[in-house]
Amino acid sequence: MRKKIVAGNWKMNLTWDDSQALAMELAMLQSTQGQSGPEMILAPAFPNLVAVAQAIKGAAGMHLAAQNVHQAASGAYTGEVSVSMLKSVSCTHAIIGHSERRQYFGESNQLLAQKINSVLQAGLTPIYCFGETLEEREGEKTFKVIESQLREATFHLNSDQFSSLILAYEPVWAIGTGKTATPEQAQEVHAFVRKLIADQFGTALADGVSILYGGSVKADNAKELFSQPDIDGGLVGGASLKASEFAAIARSF
């Protein structure tokens, strides 16, 4: 079912104490939204997952996400974290394929397909990120790049599996730069993605998938973005580190 969602990607920021304090403040603010608010997903760094899990325990509509996961179930992969470890600390979601993972850690669509498989197998929800670089946009390759990012990492799934995904369109040139895609630019890509999904899996499934926009989402541009017909919420970096700002984004539907 298509849902309204705001997800906060805290990246490599905040200590245990800071993470817990921020999550507690958000849980309080979220409780005033009642049933009508969007789902809120928080993605702290690995060591702080437990702190956030404790802070949001019992809070309606709040969920815990990892920022990454290893594709293997267990074994000799020093420094890595498996999906069963995430599950054991109450993670329900995992961000997969963030552009920083693609850029700095060389994650390919093929690898991301494996990560998505592991996350789904464990019963968690992948938040699959994709988006073009500035060079690709200027070279008019946006749609081609996005199609292969989707096709190669997710189109091997069956309909049931695909319908469990959350998607996030994040143009790389808009992440952490203060440059937001205009609502029209974002909507154009979201509509294209929904059409690709419809062609592959049928219209009913495509209509039910939540597609988030990410890239310099702030309280003062969220409303315009979220009012687009194919934008179901935001994956927010910098602006998710301040409770009042992120809560204001969550009120922007």
Stretch 147-186: interaction string toward ligand PGA, x if CB under 6 A:
-----------------------x----xx----------
Burial 199-231 (b: 16+ CB within 10 A, else e): ebbeeeebeebbbbbbbbbbbebbeebbebebb
Closest distance of CB 51 from ligand PGA, Å:
21
Residue 138 among the catalytic residues: no
Selected catalytic residue, list 39, 170, 190, 245? 170
The residue at minimum Cβ distance from ligand PGA is: 237
Piece of the chain touching ligand PGA by CB under 6 A; list 54-62, 154-162, 197-205, 213-221: 213-221
Long-range contacts formed by 175-178: CB under 8 A, 24+ apart: 175/99, 175/100, 175/131, 175/214, 175/215, 175/216, 175/237, 176/216, 176/237, 176/238, 177/215, 177/216, 178/216
The CA distance from 186 to 163, in Å, is: 22
Kindly provide the residue ranges of all beta strands, DSSP E only, lying in the chain, ordered along the sequence. Answer: 5-9, 39-43, 62-66, 93-96, 125-130, 166-169, 210-214, 233-236
Contact between 131 and ligand PGA by CB under 6 A: the answer reads: no
Number of residues in contact with ligand PGA, rule: CB under 6 A? 13
Q: Which residue from 236, 243, 247, 250 is in contact with ligand PGA, where contact means CB under 6 A?
A: 236
Q: What is the pairing mode between strands 5-9 and 125-130?
A: unpaired
* Residue 235 touching ligand PGA (CB under 6 A): yes
93 flagged as catalytic:
no
Instruction: Closer to ligand PGA by CB, 13 or 161: give it.
Output: 13
Instruction: Answer yes or no: are the C-beta atoms of 155 and 200 closer than 8 Å.
Output: yes
Q: For residues 14 and 206, which CB has a smaller minimum distance to ligand PGA in the complex?
A: 14
Q: Which of 37, 61, 126, 214 binds ligand PGA (CB under 6 A)?
A: 214
Reported as type and span, the H/E element at residue 23 is helix 16-31
Q: Does 237 bind ligand PGA (CB under 6 A)?
A: yes
| Min CB(217)–ligand PGA separation in Å | 5
**What residues make contact with ligand PGA under the rule CB under 6 A?**
9, 170, 175-176, 214-217, 235-239
Q: List active site positions.
A: 98, 170
